[in-house]
Structure 1
Amino acid sequence: MTVQHGDGARTSLRTRIVLPMILMAALTLAASGAIVAAIQYREIHSTMDQHLTRTRDELRLLADEGVDPGTGQPFAGPSELLRTYLMRTVVGEAEGEVAFVGGDVKWVASSDVTLRLEGDPQLVDAVRTLALGDEIVIRSLQTDQRDYRVLVAPVVFPTGQGALVHVFDVDLTFQQLRNTMLVYATVAVAMLAVASLIAWPLVGRLLRPIDELRVAADSIDEGDLTTRVPVTGRHELAALSATINRMLDRVQRSVEAQRRLLDDVGHELRTPITVVRGHLELVDVADPDDVVQTRELAIDELDRMGALVGDLLVLAKAGQADFVVPRWSDLAALTDRNFEKARTLGERNWRLEEVADVEAWVDPTRITQAWLQLAANAVKYSETGSVIALGSRLHRGVARLWVRDSGIGIAADQLARVRERFARAPEASTHAQGAGLGLSIVESILAAHHGRLEIESTPGAGSTFTMILPLAPVDDATEETA
């Protein structure tokens, strides 16, 4: 965006800065208020239902005892039971009660209860049928007068039937919440006004040195990220210049990180190329079976290399559903193939320790990518001729696929760091080049399989990287534990 000279241009730019700030603050306040209101609404609604449930239980207890606590005599029928209950209960400001005997209102709440249910004929007609039934009902009812949350609790005696009707006035119950939210809205509007009054002149002051800074920034060569804007004085321009310089520092670090990423991409592509080249160099052209096997392996590696390029570019999208395409795969055959491929990665003492004779629901291409990544890391951080072992086994219902090396190892306080994208242990950084994406790729593949990576390491003695995978398909909502 080009910043033009003149007060009008600065005012327009100030508006475009201040207005989104105020709008964002308004949206945040509105969203916060809506969330709080929704939570409180559910809480109040739940409290009403809990109160109605307690009322039901108290009536049921009194009916089960069957004795009038005041006289000690058994209740002769529903009328005496309901009259006794109404006399013993205390209702809140937004509550009301009546008692039906047969199909008519027999008893009403005391005169100090403000919510008079008998004065709402529509409500009486609506609950009459429920009062004659045999099921306890809690539901919402609406009449021309009010919205109600209603409990109808029938009681049945051999001599007749009655029912307790206990209700909440929904509007009155939520009145306090509405008052609170009105106060919140008033305060929010006032605070937005105060924020606007503060932000407007402040942004104007901050924009004044833009022209001078733009001239200085234009002198920076696009190809030379080491150039910085001169910082003079202690005014706003100096602070903004220092900010621009810090931004250029971040840009420079970002570009250097991208270059390191390109180095890592080159490493990832060299791995399958090395596998194909190694097998082509070792193929016995006079042996048709060896030629066919080598051809299939080469095609497999070339396909994997093509997929690898896309994987590195969309690593951030690894959580998509089609990132892996699992199928039932023979882990024994997969272990053998990966061992043969890994042996071409470097001159090491390669050992196949164990082979799991079981099928697993995995994407063999992705698992191969992860396994060879671990093997390549083992080669990178170990000496020529040292032992690198691969293996697989079934353990407690999960598959464990590992790579064990006798390389430089990882310090205990670095085990969490090496899992982070672009992060590497200090020992690894001095031992070999890389952008620190290898384990991120491995963990993304394992996460897509609902698995995980386990690392055991001793500095100077070597490391064991174990991929733990479920054997059967796992629902997305289920986390595999081992």
Structure 2
Amino acid sequence: MVTTDATPPQQAVAMPGRHPLRSIRVRLLGRMLMLVGLTLASLTGAESYLLTARLNERVDRELAHDVDAFRAFATKAAGGAGTGPGGVRELFVSYLQGYIPEHGQTLITLVDGTPYRRSAEEPPARLDTDRALMDRAAAIRTPSYGDTHSPAGSVRFVAVPVAVGGDAARGVLVIATFTQQERDNINASIRTQIYLGLGAMLLSACVGWIFATRIVAPLRLLRDTARSIHESDITRRIRVQDRDEIGQLAGTFNDMLDRLDDAFTTKRQFMNDVGHELRTPITIVLSQLETLPDDPAARAHTVAVITDELHRMHRMAEELLMLAKARRPDALRPEDLTLSELI
């Protein structure tokens, strides 16, 4: 009787249901859009920072120029007819009378912490009524730059302490520039760049979807081929077009199919050989057992025939197993031997 391996076949691992968001195309596209978005966000943030820094630098240069102009005026006044009995107040009045502020600029003077005079032109917003700003300016001891917010928007200012010899009053000159218009222009430019970036991301999504589809096409073919393979037909192969990682995977899969095909062919050939070679001795053994005589001599002859056929079956089984193993890579184990022993 021929026995077979009763070991149960391995169960296939059940794959979970595929979620649309787990598609490799969606993940490739998502990572690409994430990279594009981070790049655009970084560039937009860097541009906003640089434009704002350049605006502050330009305004600071203009404020520094105005401070130098005031110092030159004060030096000239002190070296000429003097500032008069008014001291700090007269200096402020004289300077404001001859000063014409630029567009979006205003001057405010403080004496002993209290707003004194401001430039004649009406500013976009009154800063001398901002108590917090005035207290902040009155407390300075050295020229200081700063930012504040007004009803007209952002303001960049410089506060300079002023003292006149012979006058105990402590003055402060505040030169302020309204920068909201320039900042609005910067914000408008940034918004435009953001809209363009969103459009670029949408275009990238469309083009990226096409590219991702072409990239994963060999993987989809690999999947479909794997689904269509069964023991009776494993002749399908994947056409390898590229030599990238996916092409190498397809080539490896084809090699695996070749090995499986060879294994299945060997299995079928082995079963055919077993059925063909063992059928005759089994038939002989069965016929001898069915006609087993009662005579001791004849019985002994029959037992000898049966034993000889069983030994023949054993040799056949050993030879068939050896032939089946001969196709394995490790079937032969080379060893050193002498030529005389081989002969």
CA apart distance, 1:67 = 7.1
1:109 alignment counterpart: 119
Q: Does 1:59 align with 2:59?
A: no
Which protein is richer in helix relative to its size?
A: 2
Q: Does 1:186 align with 2:195?
A: yes
Q: Is the 8 A contact 1:96 1:116 kept in 2?
A: no
Change (3 A) 1:114 1:245: closer
CA distance in 2, matches of 1:48, 1:148: 10
SS at match of 1:187: helix
Q: Is the 8 A contact 1:10 1:204 kept in 2?
A: no
Give per-residue Cα distances to partners, 1:106-145, cap 9 Å, x unaligned: 3212334323222323323332344xx5x33334456899
| Aligned counterpart for 2:91 among listed residues 66, 77, 81 | 81
1:461 alignment counterpart: none
Residue type of the partner of 1:204? Answer: T
Within-5 A mapping of 1:223-262: 238=241, 241-243=242-244
Q: Does 1:96 align with 2:106?
A: yes
Change (3 A) 1:11 1:140: closer
Q: Is the 8 A contact 1:52 1:166 kept in 2?
A: yes
CA apart distance, 1:102 = 4.2
CA apart distance, 1:30 = 0.8
Which consecutive unaligned segments of at least 5 residues does structure 1 have?
Answer: 217-228, 232-237, 249-482
CA distance in 2, matches of 1:100, 1:165: 8
CA distance in 2, matches of 1:192, 1:213: 31
CA distance in 2, matches of 1:143, 1:122: 11
Q: Does 1:136 align with 2:147?
A: no
Q: Is the 8 A contact 1:122 1:143 kept in 2?
A: no
| Aligned counterpart for 1:152 among listed residues 149, 152, 159 | 159
2:45 alignment counterpart: 34
Change (3 A) 1:138 1:11: closer
Give per-residue Cα distances to partners, 1:220-249, cap 9 Å, x unaligned: xxxxxxxxx976xxxxxx4xx25469989x
CA apart distance, 1:75 = 3.7
2:299 alignment counterpart: none
CA apart distance, 1:8 = 8.2
Change (3 A) 1:56 1:15: same
Residue type of the partner of 2:145? Answer: I
CA apart distance, 1:27 = 0.7
CA distance in 2, matches of 1:118, 1:8: 64
Residue type of the partner of 1:14? Answer: R
SS at match of 2:160: strand
CA distance in 2, matches of 1:63, 1:204: 75
CA apart distance, 1:15 = 0.6
Which protein is richer in strand relative to its size?
A: 1
Change (3 A) 1:147 1:125: farther
Which consecutive unaligned segments of at least 5 residues does structure 2 have?
Answer: 1-14, 226-237, 250-343
CA distance in 2, matches of 1:165, 1:8: 65
Change (3 A) 1:81 1:42: same
Q: Is the 8 A contact 1:67 1:74 kept in 2?
A: yes
| Aligned counterpart for 1:195 among listed residues 204, 216, 227 | 204
Change (3 A) 1:9 1:151: closer
| Aligned counterpart for 1:118 among listed residues 128, 149, 152 | 128
Change (3 A) 1:168 1:247: farther
SS at match of 2:174: strand
Q: Is the 8 A contact 2:113 2:135 kept in 1?
A: no
| Aligned counterpart for 2:184 among listed residues 154, 172, 175 | 175
TM-score by length of 2: 0.51
Instruction: Give the superposed CA RMSD.
Output: 4.0
Residue type of the partner of 1:31? Answer: S
Residue type of the partner of 1:194? Answer: L
CA apart distance, 1:20 = 0.7
1:409 alignment counterpart: none
1:20 alignment counterpart: 31
Q: Give the percent of matched residue pairs that are identical in Structure 1 and Structure 2.
A: 18
CA apart distance, 1:207 = 3.0
Q: Is the 8 A contact 2:109 2:174 kept in 1?
A: yes
Change (3 A) 1:9 1:169: closer
Change (3 A) 1:101 1:173: farther
CA apart distance, 1:183 = 1.7
CA distance in 2, matches of 1:80, 1:159: 13
SS at match of 1:192: helix
- Higher relative contact order (CA closer than 8 Å, sequence separation 6+): 2
Change (3 A) 1:60 1:207: same
